[in-house]
Structure 1
Amino acid sequence: MENVQFMTAGQKYLTLRQWKRFLESGLSEEKFTKMLYHHLIQHCDFIAHYSREGFYGTYFSNGDSIVRFLSQFDTTNGVPRSIESHSTHWLAGGNDVSAEYYDINNEMCRVAAKYIPVLITAARVQQKEHDVSLARRLLAKHDVELIKEEVEG
């Protein structure tokens, strides 16, 4: 990795290590560091959402949001687009400033590839549990009982 105006090679490696620890932790808020947050909002084309806590709440509070966030680092179908701007300039083909971070951003995608399948599976399970629980609460609120045959039929 190369030194650039706003990030040394050492800072890039440290951010990459923090990224890996964050993924390994199952996206633990404790492992979502200030340095990682700043890299995501400054060089990966994410909106800040006012603070690290606001960003975390936006992208990691439910399964659907987690899947959406991870899609930005999933290279399975080629160069992934930013989930905010829908462009690829954060990873390739951007301006000179964006290009200074292609090394770390591409490494983030490479590292994420190992964790994305497991994290997405867990996120989908989490979302399903949430959705089913919400559906049950809404049915109960309106005093509606769901009969199994209605679901299967």
Structure 2
Amino acid sequence: MSRAPITKTGSERLRAELERLKSVERPRIIAAIAEARAHGDLKENAEYHAARELQSFTEGRIAQLEALLSTAEVIDVARLNPGNRVVFGATVDLEDEDSGTLVTYQIVGDLEADIKQRLIAVSSPIARALIGKSAGDSFEFTAPNGVKHYEIIDVRYE
């Protein structure tokens, strides 16, 4: 079985979500089911069915997080010392050579990728193009909207 890489920060974020689901959400849902059950006939009790559905989703997410975390290989990015080369966990400042726009991404595991937070999966096309490059290098990759050209401004490990 292969172990999926995840940053220490990503692992802590998933563990916090798991703890919240188990200690806050699960008891709240159980109380909502008990309250809805007290209202009588369960066949036509919308509150009961909604609470049971929420319970199902929550238990599914708990199981998913437990499985993900049990197979994840946690990598402490602060302990890496690859110099100015881009490897897993790197935070990279890039300049779009076509528009001059600056953007910052961190290369993380597939489990924790979130483009809104500028966390890109190590398996993404841009991350694959970045791996092994150094500050000052230019590269291109094929994005969904065409070929993009970037220059690596800075590489750091936080």
Q: Give the alignment's TM-score, normalised by structure 2.
A: 0.28
Q: Give the alignment's TM-score, normalised by structure 1.
A: 0.29
Higher helix share: 1
Higher strand share: 2
The higher radius of gyration belongs to: 2
